[in-house]
Amino acid sequence: MTLASEKRANTAEASAEVVRTFFDAYRRHDVNAMVELCADNATFNYVPFELWRKQMVLRGDGKVRTIGKPIWSGLIHAVPDLTNEVKSVSADDDGNVAAEVVIGGTQAGPWGAIAPRGRPYREPHLFVMHVDGAGKIDSITCYWDDASVSRQLGHLEVD
Amino acid sequence: MTADITADIKTDPAAEFWRAIADRAVDAAFALVAGDADVTIPPAGILGTAADEGREFFAATVAAFPDLLLSVKRSFTCSDGVAVTELRLAGTQAAEYLGAANQDKHLDIDQAWLMRVQDGMIRSITGYWDQSQLYRRLAVRRLDQVATG
């Protein structure tokens, strides 16, 4: 029983469906649902997310529940009309998933070092995720060009 | 064990492509890519074909970083033929690169690439990374003054 359900959860189609459901929740701004789709100890890595300080670099690297959730909530707060468009979802039978997703909206509040200027942005992202045998996302890594986002929002300093 | 790895590479055009780029063998890499394959690399502002813009981008990359070190961190191939590769590209800048003047800086940047493979050939290439990270490491301070640092 357990083995059969784990096998079903790990098919490419099933893993892709979990990821599509995740982005549906993101589109609804339902951060709690996004987190619930993830395993308790799911890892999180937003690769471009790095804030350079005098003696340290803060990175978007850790766990979904401690790093991912506040980043998602913070972005939704800063960009109240934040939305996403899933362009493609590819998966294998081991739970690996790659999702190309365009994320965008209009900045209404500060986001990191970027002051709000009321400008819109729209940027392609690549999410590389893993879905475990229980059908939960246990790893999220995301890549995008933050220089492009900064340009669109009118922030021209690299740091 | 070595024989198995070699066999995997020979049946995996994406893995073979990256091995060739790591060896600075751009011609060998693009022998695996259809000439009319779509190449989309948003951080570099590239939207074109493998034979033109794609080859030019990778040739410029190996030329700008003579000590290029390419480390594949994770790769997998999806049921629809899309090969996913996460890698770290590192090296010391020795020439102008993507508009950034050479200041002999060290670059290390995490990238992710999607390649659609069909009939043993790579039919499309899409690259993702953060150009801010690249500029930061190459001592570029403003997005409107890339060439001057």
The answer to ipTM > 0.85 is yes
3-state secondary structure of A23: helix
Distance from the first to the final alpha carbon of chain A: 53
Cα–Cα dist B70/B64, whole Å: 14
Cα–Cα dist A31/A34, whole Å: 5
Q: What is residue A52's predicted lDDT score, i.e. its pLDDT? A: 72
Helix-then-strand count for chain B, H and E: 5, 6
- How far away is chain A from the Cα of B107, in angstroms, using its nearest Cα? 15
* pLDDT tens digit sequence for A76-129: 999 999 999 999 999 999 999 999 999 999 999 999 889 999 999 999 999 999
Considering only CB atoms, which chain B residues are within 8 Å of A92?
76-79
Distances (CA, A) of A102 to A84, A111, A148, A158, B17: 5, 18, 13, 22, 27
- Say whether A145 and B112 touch across the interface (CB within 8 A): no
Q: What is residue B10's predicted lDDT score, i.e. its pLDDT? A: 53
- Per-residue confidence band for B6, with pLDDT thresholds at 50, 70 and 90: very low
Percentage of residues in chain A with pLDDT exceeding 70? 94
Q: pTM of the full predicted structure? A: 0.93
Q: Which backbone phi and psi does A66 adopt, to 5 degrees?
A: -105, -30
Using alpha carbons only, what angle is made at residue B19 by residues A139 and A97, rounded to the nearest 5 degrees?
20
Tokens coding B148: 């001057």
Q: What is residue B2's predicted lDDT score, i.e. its pLDDT? A: 43
- How far away is chain A from the Cα of B21, in angstroms, using its nearest Cα? 21
Q: Strands A38-52, B121-128: parallel, antiparallel or unpaired by DSSP?
A: unpaired
pLDDT reading at B98 higher than 90: yes
Report the DSSP beta bridge partners of residue B94. none
Mean pLDDT score, A25-38 = 98
- Say whether B114 and A98 touch across the interface (CB within 8 A): yes
